[in-house]
Chains A and B, each alone.
Chain A
Amino acid sequence: MDMLNVTIDGVKVSVPAGTTVLEAARQANIHIPTLCFLKDINEIGACRMCVVDVGGRSLAAACVMPVSEGMVVKTNTPAVRKARKAVLELILSNHERKCLSCVRSQNCELQRLAKELGVEESRFCGDNIEYPLDEISPSLVRDPNKCILCRRCLAVCRNVQQIGAIGAVERGFKTQIAPAFNRSIMETNCVFCGQCINACPVGALREKDDTQKVWDAIADPEKIVVVQPAPAVRVALGEEFGMPIGTRVTGKMTQALKRLGFDKIFDTDFAADLTIMEEATELLDRVTNGGVLPMFTSCSPGWIKYVEHNFPELIPNLSSCKSPMQMEGAIIKSYWAEKAGVDPSKIVVVAVMPCTSKKFETSRPEMALNGLRTVDISITTRELARMIKSAGIQFTQLPDEECFDELVAASSGAAPIFGATGGVMEAALRTAADVLEGRSIEQIEYTAVRGIEGIKEATVTLGGKELKVAVANSTGAAKQLIKKIKSGEANYVFVEVMACPGGCVNGGGQPIVDASTRMDVDPRVARAAGLYAEDAAKTIRKSHENPEITAVYADFLGKPGSHKAHELLHTTYTARK
Chain B
Amino acid sequence: MCCCNCNNNMDKHTALQQVIDELRNEPGCLMPIMQRAQDIYGYLPEEVMNHIAKELDIPVSDIYGVATFYAQFNLEPKGKYIISVCLGTACYVKGAQLVLDELEKVLGVPAGKTTPDGVFTLNATRCLGACGLAPVIMVNDDVYGRLTPDQVAGIIAKYRE
Q: Are B46 and A181 in contact (CB under 8 A)?
A: yes
Complex: how many Å from CA A336 to CA B27? 60
Once bound together, how far apart are the Cα atoms of A451 and B144, in whole Å? 71
Interface string of A150-188 (1 = CB under 8 A from B): 000010001000011111111100000001110000001
Say whether B61 contacts A180, CB under 8 Å: yes
Q: Which 3 A-B pairs give the minimum distances between C-beta atoms?
A: A164-B59, A167-B61, A180-B64
User: Is B65 an interface residue, CB under 8 A from the partner?
Assistant: yes
B69 in complex: contacting residue of A171, A180, A181, A188, CB < 8 Å: A171
Query: Quick check: B46 and A167 within 8 Å, CB to CB?
Result: no
Please indicate the chain A residues that have their CB under 8 angstroms from the CB of B58 in the complex.
164
User: Is the pair A164, B69 in contact by a Cβ cutoff of 8 Å?
Assistant: no
Those of B28-80 within 8 Å (CB) of chain A:
46, 49, 58-65, 68-69
A-B CB contact pairs (8 Å), 15 listed: A158-B62, A164-B58, A164-B61, A165-B59, A166-B61, A167-B61, A167-B62, A169-B61, A169-B65, A169-B68, A171-B68, A180-B59, A180-B61, A180-B65, A181-B64
Other A-B pairs, 11, CB within 8 Å; known A165-B59, A165-B61, A167-B65? A158-B61, A164-B58, A164-B59, A168-B65, A168-B69, A169-B61, A169-B64, A169-B68, A180-B59, A180-B65, A188-B61
For chain A, residues 109 to 156, give those with C-beta under 8 angstroms from any C-beta of chain B: 154
* B residues neighboring A (CB under 8 Å): 46, 49, 58-65, 68-69
A164 adjacent to B64 (CB under 8 Å): no
What is the bound-complex CA distance between A188 and B64, given in angstroms?
13
Q: Which residues of B have CB within 8 Å of A164?
A: 58-62
Are A163 and B59 in contact, with the CB atoms below 8 A? yes
Task: Find chain A residues with CB under 8 A from B46 CB.
Answer: 181
Q: Which residue, A163, A165, A167, has most C-beta atoms of chain B within 10 A?
A: A167
Contact residues in A for B69 (Cβ distance below 8 Å)? 168, 170-171
In the assembled complex, how far is the CB of residue B46 from the closest CB belonging to chain A, in whole angstroms? 6
The complex places the Cα of A163 from the Cα of B68 at a distance, in Å, of 20
B65 contacts which chain A residues (CB < 8 A)? 167-169, 180
In the complex, residue of chain B having the shortest beta-carbon distance to the beta carbon of A577? B50
Q: Is the Cβ of B68 less than 8 Å from the Cβ of A158?
A: no
* Shortest Cβ distance from residue B48 to the other chain A in the assembled complex, whole angstroms: 12
Q: Which residues of A sit under 8 angstroms from B59, Cβ to Cβ?
A: 158, 163-165, 167, 180
Q: Which residue of B lies closest to A171 (CB)?
A: B69
Report A309 CB to chain B, min CB distance, Å.
Answer: 12
Of B46, B49, B69, most A-chain CB atoms within 10 Å: B69
